[in-house]
Structure 1
Amino acid sequence: MHTDNTSEAAGQARELPVVVQRLWGDATPRRRGPKPALSVAQIVDAAMTLADTEGLAAVSMARVAEAVGYTPMALYRHVSGKDELLILMSDAVAADLPDVPADAGWRAGLEAWTRAQIDLALTRRWMLELPISAVPPGPNRVRWIDQAFGVLRDVHLPADEKLAIVGLLAQHVLGEARVHVETHRAAVQKVRHDAGLPDSTPETELDPAAVEAADPYADFETVLGRYAGPTEYPHLFASFAAWTGPAVGSPGDDDISFGITVVLDGIEAYLRRRGAIGDATS
């Protein structure tokens, strides 16, 4: 374990990358003279708008420069390049996450915290294409982590275990959102192909019912029930032989809620085993 003096010395010796300093508003002081007409915030906002409308692949320094009405060279005075721009976008989009209710218990709070991220990823799908492993924590992401710690305030665990729980839920967010985005994208592409439409055809021009029916997983259970015979697939057959379809109001009616519920059930079992919570689950 590091002592306070050792940690302080290490912190003083390590110079943080410029992009991290920029994320936290700790960049090099401005030169003397009039305030620049172009700002990092404007550049990031334009890049996010471009990603919303055309996808992350459309984001380039040239396209963003065109959107803000400047030359690409002007952008490089504020952002070192596309890699830094993506990092700035990753933190900026986290500002769209809503506040978790202050009076929420640990379970309801974590459920809201997790669901909000999935909903945001389904709205701004380009988030899933960002280089997440290379993204340092910025103020908006840390604010969101702070909210998770807020709902865990009465859970008796050390900070590192709370952070591990937050990380587990973040991984679930990525997996759940990616499955929904990719299956929807495949369904949209199939409808375009079947109708003989070009790939550039906007989704708004497609029949929503046809897109829903084209979901690659739409008939998954039906296929298993019909073709998983007792000889080749005895365990599937035994389970589906008496299956008549999902019950009305069952968790399966909402795959996202079902997944969050199962993950939180596991977390609750862990917290009880650690003696971190009482009898109440809220």
Structure 2
Amino acid sequence: MASTVYDVYRIVCGIHGRCQGLGCPTMGPCPRPHGTLTARRVMSTDDERAADERTATEGTEGARPSTESLVSRLWTPLTPSRRGPRPTLSVDRIVEAAIELADAEGIGAVSMARVGKALGVTPMALYRHVSNKDELLARLADTIAADPPVIPEDIGWRAGLELWMRAQIDMVVARPWYLDLPLTIVLPGPNRLRWIDQAFRLLEGLPLEADEKLALIGTLAQHVLGESRVQAESVAAGENPYEDLELMLQRWADPQTYPHLFAAMATFGAPAEPTAEAPAEPTAEPDQDDVGFGLQIVLDGVEAYVARKTAGRSS
């Protein structure tokens, strides 16, 4: 969810029909302060869809639609004409075929021509349902995010967010081609917004403003994206890329150039010596997998931030 979480600002403002003054952190000053981003741009009209269809038919696959146009298509699927025989294609069937192709050969194999061939139709037949390759890829990204995890209502926010993050990592590792999608394609469609909505539910009751919660969700999603890449590449390689770090250091590096790293590696796995700043813990936590350790470090930071906000409200 990381790459476009801040596009939610634009969607929210669009649904309300005017700038909501959310202070979009990655966009700077609102480019449309007088409400020119209207709900009409999020839910496109029949006339706009017809114009988009003509553009897609007359243009080429390389003609890239705007972000707003792609988002509107994700929220308002194209409906083919009812004239003539009953169509044998649908948006869902086209997306399903594209996902099967990506699973088998990677996202680079997905094109209108290849998907058409897999379905036994010409590429032009696809354009009645999908405007171009960008829309197809945007739909792929949203479709594979269709199932947020089932998180109990009574679970704490921290445990809930860990489940939320792990589910995203599992989803990406199962389909590593997702990591090769352009960031401009991974847009806030209906399915992806369900994940973001779920994260907001988990954060209910915390002393945070709405923009803080959204920025927090984006930060967690960025960690998820990085962790997913490491895990996906490890699975593809069939090994942990860090397991042979000590051996590589001994072979290629020298302790004079990297004294602190060598000193740390020499005590790898041994308990840390207590210091005045960091006294020894009374009990040791059980070993965690690499993913779990990273999640706990990130969530420790969130917990510290929430505690600071709580203390500020109390004083």
Shorter-chain TM range is: 0.7 to 0.9
Match of 2:287 in 1: 250
Amino acid of the structure 1 residue aligned with 2:37: G
Local SS of the residue matching 2:184: helix
The alignment status of 1:233 with 2:264, answered yes or no, reads no
Amino acid of the structure 1 residue aligned with 2:183: I
Match of 2:303 in 1: 268
Match of 1:25 in 2: 76
**Separation of aligned partners in 1, 2:75 and 2:125:** 22
When residues 277 and 61 of structure 1 are mapped into structure 2, their CA distance, relative to the original with a 3 A threshold, is: farther
Amino acid of the structure 1 residue aligned with 2:287: S
How well do the aligned residues superpose, as a CA RMSD in angstroms? 3.1
**Separation of aligned partners in 1, 2:296 and 2:250:** 25
**Separation of aligned partners in 2, 1:272 and 1:234:** 37
String of CA shifts for 1:150-208, please: whole Å, max 9, x gaps. 111121211111011110111111111112223443x3xxxxxxxxxxxxxxxxxxxxx
Contact 1:156/1:277, CA 8 A, preserved across alignment: no
Please list every run of 5 or more consecutive structure 2 residues that lacks an aligned counterpart in the other structure: 1-12, 20-33, 43-67, 272-283
- Choose from 64, 68, 72 the match for 2:119: 68
TM-score after normalising by structure 2: 0.69
- Choose from 163, 182, 197 the match for 2:233: 182
Q: CA deviation at 1:239?
A: 2.4
Q: CA deviation at 1:20?
A: 2.0
Contact 1:121/1:177, CA 8 A, preserved across alignment: yes
The alignment status of 1:40 with 2:75, answered yes or no, reads no
Amino acid of the structure 1 residue aligned with 2:245: F
Q: CA deviation at 1:79?
A: 0.9
**Richer in helix (by share):** 1
Q: CA deviation at 1:136?
A: 2.5
Amino acid of the structure 1 residue aligned with 2:307: R
Amino acid of the structure 2 residue aligned with 1:158: E
**Separation of aligned partners in 1, 2:148 and 2:102:** 18
Amino acid of the structure 2 residue aligned with 1:231: Q
Please list every run of 5 or more consecutive structure 1 residues that lacks an aligned counterpart in the other structure: 188-210
Q: How many residues align?
A: 248
Identity score, percent: 56
- Greater RCO structure (CA 8 Å; 6+ sep): 2
Local SS of the residue matching 1:11: coil
